Amino acid sequence: MRLTVIGTGYLGAVHAACMADIGHDVLGVDTDTRKIEALAEGRAPFFEPGLPELLTRHTRKGRLGFTTSLQDAADFADLHFVCVGTPQRPDSLAADLRHVEAVVDGLAPLLTRDSLIVGKSTVPVGTTRALSRRVAARLRPGVDAEVAWNPEFLREGYAVQDTLRPDRLVVGVTSPHADQRLRAVYDSMLSAGVAYVSTDPATAELVKVAANSFLATKISFINAMAEICDAAGADVVTLADALGHDVRIGRRFLSAGLGFGGGCLPKDIRAFLARAEELQVGEAVSFLRQVDRINCRQRRRTVDLARHLLGGTFAGRRVAVLGATFKPGSDDVRDSPALAVTAEIVAEGADVFVHDPEGLDNARAALSGPRYCMDVMEACRDADAVLHLTEWREYRDLDPVKLSEVVRAPRLLDARNALDPAAWRAAGWHVRALGRPAHVPPPGQGDALRVTIPQAAGPTCTAPTPGDPLSGAPK
């Protein structure tokens, strides 16, 4: 089949390359000339494992092309996937749909054949219906176009495998014809047994925001437990392990720490709150406000614990930060908890050295102030404390003995609860982590010490507040 993918960012570039990989002829479209030039040469404009190989292979074969022209898109195919961004609006919690609207407003008048426009971006429920009206109002006489929604569930870092072998495909359509065309697009996956849920557009739109809301709630739940553990002298990692044995609960997304960030979860739960209020059912999802607040509070608590570890002040202290991206496996620093914490401790006077395996360029562009290091040892040299903020595998493989030889003081804050505290303590490190006791006695030999994290004077982090650097809300 011939199809276009409009918007070639983290979602669209992967979708375009994967659609070519399953045998379609694909044209990717973006307004960003530099991105399109890189993609057309078979280069990935961002880090995503497996993507460069697909881009090289399929651009060489001529099965995958790129353009900045919507006219080219309209000429090329009558099936168009829309993958443009839907960020949080600067003035409210709601999603900013201007990019999605610009695409359909630009594309509809150029269509000369009956077409199917399939949204993949994450949008508020009701968007497909609203866009259908926009499209209908702009079509040439005699041309028909249906808008359908096919939300995407890929995870950055695993985007290629998630797109080629998704755990489910969800399509929201208003006609059997649109359903048949989407089944044809994904035929190879359906033959491989991938679950296919065909429903109305509103349900399809909701599946995505409901899934992200559930995941965000699970993370904030365990982070709330971490706060209780700190106050009670209990251990949130053991608690999570014990909870996770219950198959109804499960252990995944139950890791306490610095919390979630990125270009999806925070803005998606906020947009869901805003849309529910428009639909006059805001009360039903008002718990998401608390989920957002708990998540934001982890950033504040991490800053407070780091300051405490340094003896009450960041001023004049040298701090090594391990990790800048919002999660491992990606170079994406959008609403990165690690960078939010880094920005705060720079503002409080620390001399900060940041290492990240893939995200340094994006981090440097997003935040000036810290120094960025290509080498972990260089970042940690003479550090008064090491903060582990993004759980890249290579940090788990660090040798605490070797690292203790380059730092000024062996103090570690593991804000992801991903390092082995016993191994680090055995190497002489003073280790602190959210939700874990500062000192763990051997089993049966007394209670763990209750942990209090003294807070700095000043406002606590109240997400989502525009202007609060820790909340990640757009300024």
* Smallest distance, ligand NAD to C-beta of residue 107, A: 9
Asked whether the beta carbons of 115 and 145 are under 8 A apart, the reply is yes
CB of 103 within 8 A of CB of 283? Answer: no
Nearer to ligand NAD, 107 or 376 (CB): 107
Residue closer to ligand NAD, measured from CB, 270 or 432: 270
- Cβ 107 vs Cβ 131: under 8 Å: no
> Closer to ligand NAD at the Cβ: 20 or 398?
20
Nearer to ligand NAD, 15 or 301 (CB): 15
* Minimum gap (Å) between residue 36 Cβ and ligand NAD: 9
Contacts by 156-159, CB closer than 8 A, 24 or more apart:
156/10, 156/48, 156/262, 156/327, 156/329, 156/330, 156/332, 157/48, 157/49, 157/327, 157/328, 157/329, 157/330, 158/49, 158/329, 159/10, 159/11, 159/14, 159/48, 159/50, 159/51
Q: Which is closer to ligand NAD, CB of 265 or CB of 383?
A: 265
How far apart are CB 265 and ligand NAD at their closest, in Å? 9
Binding site for ligand NAD (CB under 6 A): 6-12, 29-32, 35, 83-86, 99, 102-103, 121-122, 152, 154, 156, 263-264
Distance CA 211, CA 205 (A): 10
Tell me how far, at minimum, the Cβ of 74 lies from ligand NAD, in Å: 13
Q: At residue 302, what are phi and psi to the nearest 5 degrees?
A: -65, -45
Q: Mark whether 83 is an active-site residue.
A: no
Distance separating alpha carbons of residues 63 and 50, to the nearest angstrom: 17
Q: How far apart are CA 171 and CA 173, in angstroms?
A: 6
Nearest residue to 18 via CA among 45, 68, 53: 53
Distances (CA, A) of 295 to 29, 287, 362, 425, 443: 35, 12, 23, 28, 32
Closest approach, Cβ 9 to ligand NAD, in A, equals 2
Task: Decide whether 26 or 154 has the Cβ nearer to ligand NAD.
Answer: 154
Q: Rounded to the nearest whole angstrom, what is the least distance from the CB of residue 120 to ligand NAD in the complex?
A: 6
Instruction: Choose, from 18, 83, 229, 264, the residue flagged as catalytic.
Output: 264
Active site residues: 264
